[in-house]
Amino acid sequence: MRAAILIPLLTGHAWAGDATDRARELYRKTDYADAISVLKQGDSDAQSLELLGQCYYQLGDFKKAADALEKAATFAPSDSMIQTWLGRALGERAATSFPFAAAAHARKAREAFEKAVRLDPSNALAMSDLFDFYMQAPGFMGGGIEKARDLIPKLAPLDPLASHLAQAKVDEEKKQFAAAETELRAAIPLAPDKLDPVLELAQFLARRNQHEESDRFFQQAASTAPDDPRILFARAESLIKGKRNVAEARDLLKQYLAAKGLTPDDPPRWEALRLLKKAEGQ
């Protein structure tokens, strides 16, 4: 009798694992809505709820994302990556909420990022996200440039490239533009096969109104990886922020939104739509 009870239980757990695996494959293909449908058919555990939260985040539903990730954290309170994604979801809730609610969400986002780093000091993604939070959030929400700068020596051994890019952000914020440019140029040979430092430098030069050289680095990126959609997004973002060639920026964003090769590591479509609305004056 005991064996008869155990068999369906074990089968159910195996099916739940299969469902999460199927959903993860759909997530990698950016089929987020289908992944959510699959996950809702399975049992809830830390992994499935984390993936569910990631799917909602990629679709721009930050409330559902945060709710799922908070539940995931109850199953796995020591999981650093769950806290990292929870911080991301809450951070976007703060960015899209009314001021009173925004402050509460921002505080919880900071707490999640800080907890992620405490749980796993080697989690470079969590540390980078916490750095960005400190850089972007005002002091009354727990942000601050000095707090961000203090993270750079801890980030350096984990991700040297990210530490150079972080130092450049601090230098630029302090209006030490020559130092920021030096950091960005030093980052490129650290990862010659990656686009990130090239695009960061191109965008920095555009902000400094060095448009000719900025365009050359965008062209360099396009020559290195002609099919990478991140170039479309970065170029459009640079044009919109610089209030240059906004019509071209709109076209680039529409190309990005229509791109077939997007991955979860690329800027989410909701972020491109947000930029497009800005370009269209909405």
Question: What's the pLDDT score for residue 42?
Answer: 83
Which pairs count as long-range contacts for 99-108, CB under 8 Å and 24+ apart, including other chains?
103/140, 103/141, 106/137, 106/141, 106/142, 107/141, 107/142
How many other CB atoms are found less than 10 A from the CB of residue 217?
22
Work out the angle at residue 240's Cα, subtended by the Cα atoms of residues 239 and 242, and round it to the nearest 5 degrees. Answer: 65
- What's the mean pLDDT in 34-39? 97
- Name, in order, each residue with C-beta under 8 angstroms of 248's C-beta and a sequence gap of 6 or more: 236, 239
Task: Indicate the pTM of the whole model.
Answer: 0.90
How many other CB atoms are found less than 10 A from the CB of residue 138?
10
How distant, in Å, are the alpha carbons of 194, 215, 220, 275, 281 from that of 269?
22, 24, 24, 10, 18
Q: Scanning the structure block, which residue is given the tokens 């916490």?
A: 130
Question: What's the pLDDT score for residue 18?
Answer: 86
Taking each helix axis as running N to C, give the angle between helix 160-173 and helix 177-187, from 0 to 180 degrees, rounded to the nearest 10.
160
Residue-wise pLDDT tens digits, 222-264: 998 999 999 999 999 999 999 899 999 999 999 999 998 899 9
Residue-wise pLDDT tens digits, 40-87: 998 899 999 999 999 999 999 999 999 999 999 999 999 999 999 999
